[in-house]
A and B are shown apart, each in its own frame.
Chain A
Amino acid sequence: MWFLKLIWKILSIPWKIWEWFDDRSEISKTLGPLLRHPIPPGTGWKYVFGSATLIAFLIQVATGIALATVYVSSAGGAYKSLEFISHQATWGWWVRGMHYFGASAMVLLVGLHMGRVFLTGSYKFPRELNWLTGVILLFLTLAMGFTGQLLRWDQTGVWSTTIAAEQAGRVPVIGHWIARLIFGGNTVGGATLSRFFAVHVFWIPAAIFAVVGFHLYLVIRNGISEPPKPGHAINPKTYRAWYKGLLERSGRPFFPDAAWRDVIFGLLVVVCIVVLAGIVHAPELAGPPNPALIQTEPRPDWYLLWYYALLALTPHYMESYLMILVPLVIAVLLLFFPLIFNRGERSVSRRPWSAAIAIFVVLVVATLWYQGKTAHWSPAFDAPPLAIQTIGFASGPIYQGAQLFHERGCEDCHAIGGQGGHRGPDLSTVADRLTEEQMTVRILNGGNNMPAFGSILTPQDLTLLLDFLDSRTAYKNTSFRRTGGQH
């Protein structure tokens, strides 16, 4: 029996230490009420995305600090240190994967959290500042994503820096200065990476900690918004008193009544990140960061693909304006939205315009994202020569024309039989649309974004190419084909 008592005594030592610590610091008296702050009834699983974002951020902090113990933040050494982390360091590939998927989770969860707040009208009085700080956190998260991609410091990192500087260069008046600050000089070089490292590891995280702190303070100060009910409009004059009454009547402590859902969902997020990192892995590094190695196709990580697509699809004459205006307008709209629409109905069933805006935004971003993923405007540099089955001949002028179609770069932009680029129209059945004459004019003079090949092709090249293109028809009837489908 004495033995059990001894074990009990030993086991209770940590509790005793805690009691002593709490007695002297009164920490549970200070923090306890915060943790048990009353929340309105009815908050369910859709209220877990905010805390899950915070958990994803903490994963980034933990994995980021771990990576920083090996990462070399010099332009000359970063790539090699990342190769070491990815391929040699114990579980380096795993921690790097967690950092990558943690970033993805953070972006995704910020989006979900924001969507929930928007659709439930939780940004309305008195929680406008909650929304504003949330928007700042969204921008900071995207900035973390972008600078993090650069810190991979492979070819994509180097060229993304250049693209960022070029975009900044379009800002009126001070653009060139911003561009030079991004490079840390006149070109990508020794000073570039260290600056991004400082921004990614110190400046932005410090800002995130500060803003998250204020955001949480506001959440506790203003209380969690109650699930909206149709017909219950927000009136800034009466809302605070009404909310206070609601909490007094039927409030429940956040911990543990609602916190258990946050804990379970948080665990789910962590497990997803850890498992994805272990199975899918972080993206493999592109080539070394030598600005003179140009065989590369820089693409942003998935969360900025939509913006990349926007830049590619914008009509050129308005591009400079859009490049600056689109982010600016998005920022202003997001920041001022809750200030303008801070009262009235919260239920989405009474706010059809808000529902329409949310659907519109999701559709636009998803469409742009898909466009960015396929990037049909990029030449297909690696398209193989057309297959014999596609050409239909293994020798002769049509075959030779097909070879020229590949060699002279036509295939980089035009597909035939599913092979080739998609920048220009598909030419699988071009002879059904255009006569030989029309094709000749197009090829020699260009137009509509197509280069003029007049000074590039020899007359013999042109004849062979036309022989080949003339044979691209859906019809078997040769006489129809020869007239290009014109009767």
Chain B
Amino acid sequence: MSLNPNETKPSELRRDFLTALCVGVGGLTALIVAVPVVGFLLGPLLRDTGRKWRAVGPLDKFKTGDTVEVKFEDASPLPWAGVTAETGAWLRRNSQTELIAFSVNCSHLGCPVRWEPAAKLFMCPCHGGVYYSDGSVAGGPPPRGLTQYPVRVRDGNVEILTSPIPIT
């Protein structure tokens, strides 16, 4: 009830308008805050970290027929990444000229596969995935072979191209 008898009663229309105004302006206010916040949270999707060739050792360090683990730094690690900036890969030298670099991530759910030199197999500790020395599936749940990283030799050094963790 209005305290002032002279004051006219606001019409229903005006009230509907004011309700819509409150909801609309409230929503807009929330949106103004949400845009930068959501943009910030989705940053990883928008930021391109690029890829880089990383040296993993001189070519003659790797013996023909051997598969060894090599480590290299991610493309553009954040300054506080610490040891998480490192990535591992399995490097196999097939011949004088042919090198293959496998991702350590199992193609099933990404667990780190181990090379068992005497068995000449890669084995996964999580759900028992097994791969042959060429990375093809030998058994277990992996839907496809191990992902390969691009690899090259520059000035006598083996280099691997940093790549995203393969998402199956």
A163 touches B167 (CB 8 A): no
> Which of A159, A175, A185, A408 is the one whose CB lies under 8 Å from B44?
A185
Given contacts A180-B45, A451-B139, contact A294 B84 (CB under 8 A): no
> Which of B75, B110, B163 is the one whose CB lies under 8 Å from A163?
B110
Q: Of the listed stretches A271-279, A311-319, A431-439, name the one at the interface; the rest are far from the partner chain.
A: A311-319
A164 CB, nearest partner CB in chain B, Å: 9
A294 touches B88 (CB 8 A): yes
A378 touches B114 (CB 8 A): no
Q: Is A381 close to B, CB under 8 A?
A: yes
A451 touches B121 (CB 8 A): yes
Residue of chain B at shortest CB distance from A450: B139
B158 CB, nearest partner CB in chain A, Å: 16
Count of interface residues, chain B, beta-carbon cutoff 8 Å: 53
B127 touches A186 (CB 8 A): no
> Which of A176, A184, A316 is the one whose CB lies under 8 Å from B143?
A316
Chain A residues in 8 Å Cβ range of B121: 409, 451, 456
CA distance A191 to B109 in the complex (A): 21
**B-contact bits for A27-47, CB 8 A (1 contact / 0 none):** 000000000000000000000
Residue among B84, B119, B121, B128 having the largest count of chain A Cβ atoms under 10 Å: B84
CA distance A452 to B137 in the complex (A): 11
CA distance A190 to B79 in the complex (A): 7
CA distance A410 to B139 in the complex (A): 13
Q: Is B65 close to A, CB under 8 A?
A: no
Q: Is A482 close to B, CB under 8 A?
A: no
B109 touches A311 (CB 8 A): yes
Chain B residues in 8 Å Cβ range of A319: 141
Interface of B is mostly: loop
Q: Is A390 close to B, CB under 8 A?
A: no
Residue of chain B at shortest CB distance from A186: B164
A159 touches B111 (CB 8 A): yes
Interface of A is mostly: loop
B window 126-168: CB within 8 A of A: 126-128, 130, 132, 138-141, 143, 163-165, 167-168
CA distance A379 to B139 in the complex (A): 12
Counted as pairs of residues, one from A and one from B, with CB atoms less than 8 Å apart, the total is 176
B84 touches A180 (CB 8 A): no
B44 touches A412 (CB 8 A): no
B140 touches A74 (CB 8 A): no
Given contacts A74-B82, A175-B167, contact A408 B119 (CB under 8 A): yes
> Which of B69, B77, B120 is the one whose CB lies under 8 Å from A294?
B69
**B-contact bits for A381-400, CB 8 A (1 contact / 0 none):** 10000000000000000000
A78 CB, nearest partner CB in chain B, Å: 9
B1 CB, nearest partner CB in chain A, Å: 27
Given contacts A166-B167, A378-B126, A423-B128, contact A290 B81 (CB under 8 A): no
Q: Of the listed stretches A95-103, A206-214, A295-303, name the one at the interface; the rest are far from the partner chain.
A: A295-303
**B-contact bits for A293-332, CB 8 A (1 contact / 0 none):** 1111110000000000001100010010000000000000
Q: Which residues of B contact A (CB under 8 A)?
A: 42, 44-45, 47, 49, 69, 71, 74-75, 77-88, 104-105, 108-114, 116, 118-121, 123-128, 130, 132, 138-141, 143, 163-165, 167-168
| Additional A-B contacts beyond A158-B84, A159-B112, A446-B138 (19; CB < 8 A) | A76-B82, A79-B83, A162-B105, A162-B109, A166-B109, A181-B44, A188-B84, A193-B84, A291-B88, A294-B104, A296-B112, A311-B109, A312-B128, A378-B126, A379-B128, A407-B118, A407-B119, A451-B130, A455-B132
Q: Which residues of A contact B (CB under 8 A)?
A: 74-77, 79, 158-159, 162-163, 165-167, 169-170, 175-177, 179-181, 183-193, 288-298, 311-312, 316, 319, 377-379, 381, 407-410, 412-413, 423, 446, 449-452, 455-456
Sample 19 A-B pairs with CB under 8 A, ordered by A number.
Answer: A158-B84, A165-B110, A176-B167, A181-B45, A183-B44, A183-B165, A190-B77, A191-B44, A191-B78, A290-B84, A292-B87, A294-B112, A298-B111, A319-B141, A407-B119, A409-B119, A410-B119, A446-B138, A452-B138
